[in-house]
């Protein structure tokens, strides 16, 4: 943009800065009405963030939440044309900037990303589904995964424990998957063990059958019978929860 601004451009920039900060209102033709623009825009931003981050909002008190939204809006230049994507910029902003509350929230980033992913997985563009059959042989057929999935490693159990009750004692290793159900297109959550995560990752990386999963569980279990049982248990769980859609269609 040209560095030499005309008075019209200067006034528009001043107006934008006022709307974002609520400070230093510009002189306008009906000064009594200038504040309506700040209020209208701010309420849209506040509603968008409140709808996107209900758990975080509930965890904070009203003032802390308002400060968090206002600090973001004032200090971040929103880049997306699609307002439903703005909560991701909120998350990214607070990865880089201190969250404006006195209390330290060790699981803040994890919680924000978890809440954002629910929106992202629900709204994301459709991915390609390989043709599959619901019937097949779990021990021999190629397993077809649901590609519309995100797996989130966590240090705190934000997915299954009230945030206000989470303490340092809860710190550990958790995995949660968020996927879009193939049939009803709603987002579903599953808590997963590390071996289950590894198997899901493999399924999404390459054509996988029962036997390909064996080396993963071999790291955790030496009894081959138990390994087979656990793989079958994983396949049953994944089919039941729509993490695996079915079996590769064989040509007749």
Partner 1 sequence: MVGIGYRKEFSKEFLYDHKIHPDFVEVAPENWLGVGGYWKQEFKKVREKYPLFLHGLSLSIGSPEGVDIDFVKKIKAFIEETGAVLYSEHLSFSKVDNAHLYDLLPIPFTQDAIDRVVENILIVQDLLGRRLILENASYYTLLKQEISEPEFINEIVRRSDCEMLLDVNNVYVNSFNHHYDAKEFISKMPLERVKYIHIAGHFKVNEHLIIDTHGAEIIDPVYDLLDFTLQKLQREVPILLERDFNIPELEVLESEMTQLRNIQNKVLNPMIV
Q: How far apart are CA 245 and CA 147, in angstroms?
A: 9
Nearer to partner 1, 3 or 104 (CB): 3
Nearest distance from C-beta of residue 51 to partner 1, angstroms? 12
Interface contacts to partner 1, rule CB under 8 A: 1, 5-9, 11-17, 19-20, 26, 28-34, 36-37, 40-41, 44-45, 76-84, 86, 122-127, 148, 180, 184-186
> What secondary structure does DSSP assign to the chain, as a single string?
--SS--HHHHHHHHHHHHHHH--SPPP-TTGGGHHHHHHHHHHHHHHHHHHH-HHHHHHS-HHHHHHHHHHHHHH-----SSGGGHHHHHHHHHHHS--S-SS--TTHHHHHHHHHHHHHHHHSPPPPPPPEES---TTTSPEEE-SSEEEEEESS-TTTS-GGG--GGG-S-EEEEEEE-TTT--EEEEEE-HHHHHHHHHHHHS-B-HHHHHHHHHTT---HHHHHHHHHHHHHHHHHTTSEEEEEPPP-
Nearest distance from C-beta of residue 184 to partner 1, angstroms? 8
Q: Report residue 207 as tokens.
A: 């054509």
Nearer to partner 1, 34 or 241 (CB): 34
Nearer to partner 1, 30 or 62 (CB): 30
Q: Report residue 211 as tokens.
A: 């036997």
Nearer to partner 1, 125 or 168 (CB): 125
Nearer to partner 1, 45 or 154 (CB): 45
Nearest distance from C-beta of residue 199 to partner 1, angstroms? 25
Nearest distance from C-beta of residue 22 to partner 1, angstroms? 13
Nearest distance from C-beta of residue 82 to partner 1, angstroms? 5
Nearer to partner 1, 45 or 227 (CB): 45
Which residues on neighbouring strands pair with residue 144, listed in sequence order?
A: 246
Nearest distance from C-beta of residue 91 to partner 1, angstroms? 17
């Amino acid at each position: 943009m040209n560095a030499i601004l005309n008075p019209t451009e200067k006034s528009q920039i001043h107006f934008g800065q006022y709307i974002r900060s609520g400070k230093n209102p510009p002189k306008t033709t009906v000064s009594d009405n200038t504040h309506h623009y700040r209020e209208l825009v701010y309420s849209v931003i506040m509603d968008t963030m409140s709808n996107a981050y209900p758990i975080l909002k509930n965890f904070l008190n009203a003032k802390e939440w308002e400060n968090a939204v206002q600090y973001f809006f004032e200090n971040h230049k929103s880049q997306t044309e699609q307002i439903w994507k703005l909560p991701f910029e909120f998350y990214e902003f607070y990865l880089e900037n201190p969250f404006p509350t006195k209390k330290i929230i060790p699981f803040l980033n994890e919680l924000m990303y978890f809440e954002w992913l629910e929106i992202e997985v629900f709204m994301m563009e459709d991915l390609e589904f390989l043709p599959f059959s619901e019937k097949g042989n779990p021990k021999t057929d190629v397993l077809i995964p649901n590609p519309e999935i995100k797996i989130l490693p966590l240090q705190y159990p934000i997915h299954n424990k009230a945030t206000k009750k989470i303490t340092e004692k809860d710190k550990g290793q958790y995995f949660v998957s968020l996927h879009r159900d193939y049939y009803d297109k709603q987002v579903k959550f599953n808590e997963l063990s590390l071996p289950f995560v590894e198997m899901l990752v493999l399924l999404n990386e390459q054509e996988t059958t029962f036997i390909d999963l064996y080396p993963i569980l071999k790291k955790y279990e030496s009894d081959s019978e138990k390994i087979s049982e656990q793989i079958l248990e994983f396949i049953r769980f994944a089919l039941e929860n729509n993490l695996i859609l079915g079996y590769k269609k064989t040509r007749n």
